[in-house]
Structure formats: C-alpha cells, structure tokens
Amino acid sequence: MTSQLIKNFNKKDKSYSHAGIVFFQDGEPKVYHILAGGENPGAKMIADSLERFCYPRHNTSFAVYRYNVDSAEINTMRVAVTNWYNEGVRFDSTFNLKSDDKMYCSEMIRKALARATKNRIIIATTKASKAEVLLGATRLPLSVEYMSKLDLIPVDNLYMNPHCRLIARFDFNPQK
C-alpha cells in the first residue's frame, strides 16, 4: 500500500516507489537505501546486496540507471553516503528536506549528487497535487496543511532527467 502511494507522487513514470545508490565494496555491488516499515524496523540506512534489493518476491520490476558523473564525483558521493550510513541516518517520515539527520531514499540520492557535482546535477523537487495531498494525508501521519507545503523528490525525478541514462530494466510481471 505504501509503495502504491509513493508511486502516485511520480509525475511522469509510476514504475518505481523506491531507489538506492550502488557502490562496489570488495568487488560486490552494495545498494545503499533508506526505508521504514517491516523490512527495516530500525528505519536506518541499509547497505543491501543487489540480489536482496531487487528480490522478485518484493518487487515487480527494477532498473539500473547511471548518472553522468566522473570518478572523482563518484568518490565524493561514496564518502557522503557511507558517512550517512555510519552515522545511522534514519528514514524521514516527515519528508523534510532541510535536515540531513533523517532522509528518504530520493532525498539521499539528490543530496549526494548535489554535493558530489557541486550542484551541477540538481534533482528537481515538486509539490503534490491536491489529490495526492489528500491521499497522502489519509495514509501518512501528516496533515493536509503540512503535506500541501512540502517540496518532494518523486522517485521518477531521479532518473527522468538529462543527467541520467537507463542501463537495464527488469520486469518480473509477465503480464506487462
């Protein structure tokens, strides 16, 4: 249910509700991401294997996108993200972009990119529509007034921009 709500905030492509950033560690891809709920009761940033992050029983599809960043920018992103991981950054259930002690998945990626590229790549924010605000306020512990003022980073803003390109897409739903 939460996944469908998050997908609803996407303006152009409602395929995905969650995002992470991949770095190789000891030759293995690790996906850094932040979520709350049953899969992560502590709501702290996680470093999952790619297999676990993309597991078909918990996903209908996934895709791999790559940003136009150089090796120095990748290293800067890695430092920022692993620092947040080591600090125990938790999921931000209020979706407040002004703090770094709590973040949500697309916020973490936006901030890492902006820092690494010295604001060359800025992922756009958006406001929720009236219908999205009303739906969100019924499912999230946030008021209509609060939600209507939020600047959000929908997941599709992460990859539907000129700084990003699709590498591969995988659909587990054969009906698509």
Residues 6 or more apart whose Cβ sits within 8 Å of residue 133: 144, 147, 148
What is the C-alpha to C-alpha distance for residues 44 and 5, in angstroms, rounded to an integer? Answer: 21
Alpha helix segments (H runs only) across 42-99? 50-53, 71-87
CATH superfamily of the 2-167 domain: endopeptidase domain like (from Nostoc punctiforme) (3.90.1720.10)
Per-residue pLDDT of the chain (176 residues), as tens digits, is 556 667 777 788 888 888 999 999 999 999 999 987 777 778 899 999 988 888 777 777 789 999 999 999 999 999 999 999 999 999 998 899 998 999 999 999 999 999 999 999 999 999 988 888 888 888 888 898 998 998 999 999 999 999 999 999 888 776 65
Coil, strand or helix: which one is 150?
coil
Structure tokens that stand for 112 in this block: 């890492």
Structure tokens that stand for 65 in this block: 């996108």
Whole-model pTM: value is 0.90
